[in-house]
Amino acid sequence: MGRYVIRRLLQMIPVFFGTTLLIFLMVNVMGDPIAGLCGDRQCDPATAAQLRSEFGLDKPVWQQYLTYMGNVFTGDFGTAFNGQKVTELMGTAFPITIRLTIVAVVFEVVIGISLGVVTGLRRGRPVDTTVLILTLIVIAVPTFVTGLLLQLLLGVKWGIIKPSVSADPTFDELLVPGLVLASVSLAYVTRLTRTSIAENARADYVRTAVAKGLPRRRVVVRHLLRNSLIPVVTFIGTDVGALMGGAIVTERIFNIHGVGYQLYQGILRQNSQTVVGFVTILVLVFLAANLIVDLLYAVLDPRIRYA
């Protein structure tokens, strides 16, 4: 187990540097990082040159990347467009996005798995067909349309929620945005659970459990569900990283000042340090989530052993 973790961590190193380098290059290609620093005015050439050497922007890109990464490892993520430390921005943005992600994951687990179990046990019945079509529609309608529609209906038309949330939103303010963020994954979790349940329901060990005279409830919960949830849990685990990185659209629609919002601002203002800093953390979260999922896999399925 320990050796496996070490091997995985070693495998992560190139992925981590590859991803951050890719983003770093993209951000550098994308435009002049200085342009945003002088506010909306054009910088005068002298100031620009001074800023350039101050930030080391006159050096080759790979050197800039190394310098930047060096700083990151000492905890210095640089300065955002408004003069704030990027770490400060992170300090306010990440708790909000984490809250949003938690809401989304809870929706995935509670609604997604329940619907999946219900439909998986009733394949071909009207409930199953209805839910299946609904999931396809949810997958087909892009998140930003779902978000705008829910905002229009719940926020504007019926006044159930406020169309946008406060600066430091609480969990209940994030319920609808969380549902929007979760929507597509929710549909996938439902379908995945349904398939997994239906597939396992035909397994020999379920037949054994029935032959043992166990009550149906016990057959389903203890034998069927336990096995069927293995792929679902791994999907939700990997989805955590994707949700945090994918919150840009949702945060923009509901005006939530989380990670996605800061990234969007950073890109608009061409502030490379904000963008690369946030992406670095997101990549780390993504990699960590994947590792945890792999380890969880072994806990859930005793047949998997790590070499």
Partner 1 sequence: MLLEVRDLYVEFHTREGVAKAVNGVNYSVAEGETLAVLGESGSGKSVTAQAVMGILDMPPGKIAGGEILFKDQDLLKLRPDERRKIRGQEMAMIFQDALSSLNPVLTVGEQLGEMFVVHRGMSRKDAKAKAVELMDRVRIPAAKERVNQYPHQFSGGMRQRIMIAMAMALEPSLIIADEPTTALDVTVQAQVMDLLAELQRELNMGLILITHDLGVVADVADKIAVMYAGRIVETAPVHEIYKAPAHPYTKGLLQSIPRLDQKGRELYAIKGLPPNLTRIPPGCAFNPRCPMARGVCRSDVPPLYEVDQQRRSACHFWKETLDAR
Partner 2 sequence: MPEPQTPDEAISQGGAGAPTDLAMEEGTSLEKNPGGPDGTGPAGKPRSLWSDAWRDLRRNPVFIISSLVILFLVIISIWPSLIASGDPLQADLADAQKGSEPGHPFGFDPQGRDVYTRVVYGTRTSVTVGVCATLGVALLGSVLGGLAGFFGGWWDAILSRLTDVFFGIPVVLGGLVFLSVVTSSTVWPVVGFIVLLGWPQIARIARGSVITAKQNDYVQAARALGASNSRMMLRHITPNAIAPVIVVATIALGTYISLEATLSFLGVGLKDPAVSWGIDISAAANYIRNAPHMLLWPAGALAVTVLAFIMLGDAVRDALDPKLR
Neighbours of 45 (CB within 10 A): 8
Report the nearest approach of partner 2 to the CB of residue 46 (Å).
Answer: 26
Return all residues near 216 (Cβ < 8 A) that are at least 6 apart: none
Our finding on whether 302 is near partner 1 (CB under 8 A) is yes
Using CA atoms, how far apart are residues 133 and 88, in angstroms rounded to an integer?
Answer: 44
Structure tokens at 155: 């926020």
| Residue 282, contacted partner among partner 1, partner 2, none, CB below 5-8 A by kind | partner 2
Structure tokens at 197: 């349940």
Our finding on whether 282 is near partner 2 (CB under 8 A) is yes
| Residue 125, contacted partner among partner 2, partner 1, none, CB below 5-8 A by kind | none
Report the nearest approach of partner 1 to the CB of residue 136 (Å).
Answer: 23
206/263 with CB nearer partner 1: 206
| Residue 264, contacted partner among partner 2, partner 1, none, CB below 5-8 A by kind | partner 2
Using CA atoms, how far apart are residues 250 and 35, in angstroms rounded to an integer?
Answer: 28
| Residue 29, contacted partner among partner 1, partner 2, none, CB below 5-8 A by kind | partner 2
50/304 with CB nearer partner 2: 304
| Residue 61, contacted partner among partner 1, partner 2, none, CB below 5-8 A by kind | none
* Subset of 198-257 contacting partner 1 (CB under 8 A): 202-205, 207-215, 218, 222-223, 226-227, 230
Annotate 130-181 with three-state secondary structure.
HHHHHHHHHHHCCHHHHHHHHHHHHHHHCCCCCCCCCCCCCCCCCHHHHHHH
- Chain centroid offset of residue 59 CA: 34
Select from 230, 170, 236 the least CA-distant residue to 203.
230
| Residue 302, contacted partner among partner 1, partner 2, none, CB below 5-8 A by kind | partner 1
Our finding on whether 126 is near partner 2 (CB under 8 A) is no
111/298 with CB nearer partner 2: 298
Residues 160, 167: contact at Cβ < 8 Å? no
Using CA atoms, how far apart are residues 281 and 57, in angstroms rounded to an integer?
Answer: 23
- Using the contact rule CB under 8 A, the part of the chain among 74-82, 169-177, 211-219, 227-235 near partner 2 is 227-235
Give contact residues for partner 1 (rule: CB under 8 A): 202-205, 207-215, 218, 222-223, 226-227, 230, 300-303
